[in-house]
Structure 1
Amino acid sequence: MEVIGYGTQDASIDLGPLKFTREPVRAGEIAIQITHCGVCHSDLHQARDDWENTVYPCIPGHEIIGEVIEVGEGVSRFKVGDRAGVGCMVNSCQQCDQCDVGDEQYCTGPKSCTLTYNGPKKPDGTNSYGGYSTGIVVREEFALTIPEKFTSEHAAPILCAGVTTYAPMKYFGLGDGHTLAVAGLGGLGHMAVQIGKALGAKVIALTTSPEKADALKEIGADEIVDVNDDDAMEKHAMSVDLMVNTIPYAHDINPYLQLMKAKSQICVVGNFLGFEELDTATMVFNHVGITGSLIGGVAATQEVLDLCAEHDIRAVTKSIRMDEIGEAFQRMLDENIEFRHVIDMASLRDDDDAAAKAVQVDNPVRGEVVGRA
């Protein structure tokens, strides 16, 4: 499959058109013509090598929706013409203890899981290219069924933003009678508010932008707390059972510790850059844990898709053309975003100028789609 993508070959270069070839479909695999792809903050981090692990060329995108255009021998869950999704992974060993319980993101195989772009989670120099492209090939075990209720634009963000926030809620048993706090109210956070409500929790939205209060109430937040308002923070001290912290950069987490009940958890899902200091005294005396969670397994991704369909949960989205990705990245950098950007991939597929200017790059390594025989 000849493919046009948008990516970069260096942290200092803006994304632009690249071309490469996806390998032919094999047994157990499906080929998808991508119609939509969500834009995640991690796409920006990875393209700019903020985590110092990027394998170039980098073609981001892991919130992929498209149409199945070919199926390999033995495929049973999809047929040509079906709509399918691909989230953050395209492969894992499928044999280790973590894979066996549906947590492929924590695969302990030789290369760990293979991410939809940037190759194995433990980088070894090989690469995979993501959804900022016109097509992808993936094993059917890593493809998702998209509920008919969703438009493709609204389904795409659930494949990362949805499952990333749902996974810790599921793990810690969030439900009726619990209080969930959400810190960071961008693409992930606004999904967390809605999912927490669907699971039966009271939801507190923690923000530094109180002007967002009406919009946050519209999506289900029970209370909005301005983190910079000391009185409001004191009023909510020791009231939270679980906090999902989606803030994607290093920040002072200590004020949030004051909100947590005894034996509660703050789950970090967005910040890979660490915290300079931790108020360990509060953690010890109140038995508050700070934990982390990475995306979610394939089964959890399907669960949250179905949950969102059942409860009519929608991401707040803004459709963009592929050539507007630089502006979308800048809005994320400026923290000027109240929605999830979703790329309409027809804008790339029909862009003759992009095809003409596309730079040839190496084909992604075949291992991106290898799974259990």
Structure 2
Amino acid sequence: MASGDKFEGWLGHGPDAVEGKMVWGEFEPKKWEEDDVDIKISHCGICGSDLHTLKSGWGETPYPCCVGHEIVGKAVRVGKNVKHVKVGDRVGVGAQARSCLESDCPECSNNLENYCARGMVGTYAGVYPKGEGKSYGGYAKHNRTNGHFVLPIPDGIDSADAAPMLCGGITLYSPLKKNGCGPGKTVGIVGVGGLGHFGVLFAKALGADKVVGISRKADKREDVLKLGADSYIATAEDADWAKKNARSLDLIVCTVSSGKMPLTEYLGLLKVEGTFIQVGAPDGGELPNINAFTVIFSGIKVGGSGIGSPSEIREMLQLAADKKIKPWVQKRPMADANKAIVDMEEGKARYRYVLEN
């Protein structure tokens, strides 16, 4: 980094930060190691996780906290142990800043770093295990992250488009790919917002025969069809939607973060031996109860998925470059971050806000 550069960003000092009360200030990044990369941030996507964390919705946040884990920028300092990135490269960081990376770790040794139980540190609001400090995210001028989780951005993807792929995109790409999305499959995406719109884009890019957008109201129908979906279900407005579409889908990925969603009806949309994957994470983590007979009598599998590994992110980014995948983003100035998170909380994004330095 250039002499005199400081780590500065939007800091939440308490749960009211989510109300647009973040304060710009200086922060101390993790202690520098030769495995690290410093990034001058050009873009950072706004993710629903940011809002949950700012208000301590998933547990007590270690304030002050600078959120943002969809980071794209230029590498300005590269540790000597980092071989895949050089100063000047355009790079990105997603929702993970560290795992244990030990050779005997069953997760890290099998490209499942995002599930590491020994040393998982999020890109923000994380505490490093060896006294290295806290992790601070991308609503900022600079970011410091372990090089294993810093990934080159392929040519052919605009930085503003790449940023939200690093969490929102991979959160949908990973379960789609791992659960057989491709030719011959019918796929449903529940909740077509910032996360779900990536589900439609990637399900089509992976070659699914039919992609169905599923949301409460019909006002998104035209948008979802423009994204590439073959049909749309508005659960609050389409009469007898559950009965009419019963046993029609091989795979459902659900982005909804609500303990009141009609989960039994969603499961009824699956074919025999279909798969339901939950990626939406509500405050408190509670979901509706599942009736045993609902899953037993159709042989349904219910599971979950969390972000994705560095190898999966590389794969996703290359697919996005090859297929010219274009998410729907709205750029906002970094200086407008407080207003942007309020607008995000009010559901105004169509479908992903990206802060721009």
TM-score (norm 1): 0.87
8 Å CA contact 1:66, 1:85 repeated in 2: yes
Q: Distance in 1 between matches of 2:190 and 2:343?
A: 19
8 Å CA contact 2:30, 2:133 repeated in 1: no
What are the equivalent positions in structure 2 for 1:342-353 lying under 5 Å apart?
342-345=354-357
Match of 1:108 among 103, 117, 124: 117
3-state SS of 1:196 partner: helix
Tell me the residue number matched to 1:321: 333
Tell me the residue number matched to 1:223: 231
1:258 partnered with 2:268: yes
Percentage of identical aligned residues: 34
Tell me the residue number matched to 1:135: 142
Deviations, residues 176-217 of structure 1 (Å, cap 9, x unaligned): 111110011111110110100111111000022212222111
CA shift in 2, pair 1:24/1:69, >3 Å: farther
Deviations, residues 3-43 of structure 1 (Å, cap 9, x unaligned): 11102111124212121233574323221101100000010
How many angstroms does 1:222 deviate by?
Answer: 0.6
Mean CA deviation greater in 80-89 or 279-288: 279-288
1:195 partnered with 2:202: yes
What are the equivalent positions in structure 2 for 1:42-61 lying under 5 Å apart?
42-61=49-68
Tell me the residue number matched to 1:2: 6
8 Å CA contact 1:254, 1:279 repeated in 2: yes
Q: Any unmatched runs of 5+ in structure 2?
A: none
Deviations, residues 262-286 of structure 1 (Å, cap 9, x unaligned): 1111111112422243233211211
CA shift in 2, pair 1:120/1:223, >3 Å: farther
Q: Distance in 2 between matches of 1:333 and 1:137?
A: 27
Q: Any unmatched runs of 5+ in structure 1?
A: 346-373
Mean CA deviation greater in 244-253 or 261-270: 244-253
Match of 2:213 among 180, 195, 205: 205
Moved over 6 A (4+): none
Q: How many aligned residue pairs are there?
A: 342
Match of 2:78 among 66, 71, 89: 71
Please tell me the root mean square deviation across aligned C-alpha atoms, in Å. Answer: 2.0
8 Å CA contact 1:25, 1:31 repeated in 2: no
1:307 partnered with 2:323: no
CA shift in 2, pair 1:280/1:24, >3 Å: closer
Q: Distance in 2 between matches of 1:317 and 1:268?
A: 24
1:178 partnered with 2:185: yes
Q: Distance in 2 between matches of 1:173 and 1:120?
A: 36
Match of 2:244 among 227, 235, 242: 235
8 Å CA contact 2:139, 2:337 repeated in 1: no
Q: Distance in 2 between matches of 1:75 and 1:207?
A: 43
8 Å CA contact 1:2, 1:22 repeated in 2: no
CA shift in 2, pair 1:83/1:215, >3 Å: same
Q: Distance in 2 between matches of 1:293 and 1:121?
A: 24
8 Å CA contact 1:25, 1:71 repeated in 2: no
Tell me the residue number matched to 1:149: 156
Deviations, residues 293-341 of structure 1 (Å, cap 9, x unaligned): 1101111111111111111111110111223223322233323332110
Tell me the residue number matched to 2:293: 281
Q: Distance in 2 between matches of 1:217 and 1:52?
A: 37
Tell me the residue number matched to 1:353: none
8 Å CA contact 1:225, 1:233 repeated in 2: no
How many angstroms does 1:75 deviate by?
Answer: 2.6
8 Å CA contact 2:114, 2:120 repeated in 1: yes
1:268 partnered with 2:275: no
Q: Distance in 1 between matches of 2:300 and 2:145?
A: 40
CA shift in 2, pair 1:120/1:166, >3 Å: farther
The one-letter amino acid paired with 1:343 is: L
Greater relative contact order (Cα < 8 A, sep 6+): 1
The one-letter amino acid paired with 1:344 is: E
Deviations, residues 80-132 of structure 1 (Å, cap 9, x unaligned): 111000111111101211011111111021xx31110011599x996311111
The one-letter amino acid paired with 2:12 is: T
CA shift in 2, pair 1:23/1:296, >3 Å: closer
1:82 partnered with 2:92: no
